[in-house]
Structure 1
C-alpha cells in the first residue's frame, strides 16, 4: 500500500519551505500557478501545472496539480488512517504533488477551514499537512474545495528564479477553477488559455505572464 505520513502531529510546512507571502511582491510568486513550457527538460515536470505555495529568497515550494494519483483512492486513504466517512461521504481529488517527500500528504484547500499549522498561501487559499483536515472531510465538513497531494516540488535559494529566467515556466494567476479542476489532464491547456497563449508559440516567450 502506498505510504502515507499524514497522521503525524507535525502540522508545519516542510522544514525547507520558505515562509509564505500574502500576495505577490518584489517578484515573488506565492499563490501563482507555474505552467511548464514545452521546452521543460525535466520529465517529472513536463506539462505540469504547479501551485506555488511559498516563494522567497530562501527558495520555493509548490504542489503539482495535474498528475493524478492512480495508486491510491481517497476511500483507501481514509481506511489506512482508520477514518470512517459519515454518509453522504465527501471525497477530494488525489494528485502526485512532486518528487520531494513522496510519502507525506498535503491538502491544498480553500481557507474557509483552517487548523493550527495551516500555511496561508494567499487570501482564500491554504495548505494543511495534518490528518485533522481529512477527519473533517470524512465527517462531512472541512473546506469547501480541496486537493490532496502526496509529495511536493521544492527549489533551493534562487533556483526557481533562474528557471523562470531561462523560460522554463510561465506564471499564471490562480483561481478556483484551475486549482480544483475536475479534469486535471486538461489543466495545462486551460492555464495557457487563461493567458491567451497558443502552446505552439511558447518557445520564444518570457517567463512572466
Structure 2
C-alpha cells in the first residue's frame, strides 16, 4: 500500500494509529529494532513510518538540495532549525519527503492521520519550519514503509511485530535511540523479555 492510501481514509483498520515494534526475529536491516507508526491500514494493506532511524542528511542539507535556501542562509538558520530531525521513514520511495506534525499547522495538502497528528508532503511546510513558522511539534521522514493486502497481518501472526497504541511524545521525541525501549515500555515489556520464538498457543 502506498502514500495515496492516506487520502482515502474511508476504511480504517485495527492498526491505524498504532505502533509496530519489531520482535528480535526481524532480521531485515530496514526493520530490525524498529518502531513503526502506522498511518493507514485497511483491507488493501498498510502504510507507516519508521520513527527511530536517523537519516544522514541534515535538515539544512534537505533545504539546500531542494533549493529552498542558499548556502550562506544555511549558516544563519537557528540551532533548532538546523538540528530539526530528519528520519529514514522506510525503504519505499526513500527520496520522497514527508513531515509528521501536530495539527496546529495546516495546508491544502495536509492529511489528518489522527485527532492530533497530520501529515504534509509538500514544500510549504519545509519553508514554514525554516522560517520558524512551522508546527509546534514535527519530524521529517524520507521514505515510508508499505505492506500489501494481508502482508502485515501475516507478519504479526508469525511473531514479527508487537503492536500498541501510539503516543505522540514518542513520535516527536528527538532522541531516536531510546524510542524502541520507550515503545516496549508502553506495553510493560523490556527488550530482555522478548523471545525470537513464536508463542502461539
TM-score by length of 2: 0.85
Partner secondary structure for residue 87 of structure 2: strand
Cα displacement string for residues 26-47 of structure 1 (whole angstroms, at most 9, x for unaligned residues): x521111111011113221000
Partner secondary structure for residue 194 of structure 2: helix
The number of equivalent residue pairs is 191
Detail structure 1 runs of 4+ shifted over 3 Å in the superposition: 15-22, 84-90, 204-207
Classify 1:90/1:20 alpha carbon distance in 2 versus 1 (closer, same or farther; 3 Å). Answer: farther
CA contact (8 A) 1:53 1:127 kept: no
Matches for 1:25-36 after TM superposition, within 5 Å: 28-36=14-22
Corresponding position: 1:177 with 2:169: yes
Mapped to 2, the partners of 1:103 and 1:198 lie a distance apart of: 34
More helix by share: 2
CA contact (8 A) 1:18 1:60 kept: no
Query: 2:181 matched to which residue of 1?
Result: 189
Partner secondary structure for residue 186 of structure 1: helix
Query: 1:53 matched to which residue of 2?
Result: 39
TM-aligned CA deviation for residue 162 of structure 1? 1.1
TM-aligned CA deviation for residue 90 of structure 1? 4.4
Q: Which runs of 5+ in 1 are unaligned?
A: 1-12
Query: 2:65 matched to which residue of 1?
Result: 80
The partner residue of 1:68 within 36, 54, 58 is 54
Partner secondary structure for residue 45 of structure 1: coil
Query: 2:154 matched to which residue of 1?
Result: 162
Corresponding position: 1:110 with 2:64: no
CA contact (8 A) 1:18 1:56 kept: no
Q: Which runs of 5+ in 2 are unaligned?
A: none
TM-score by length of 1: 0.82
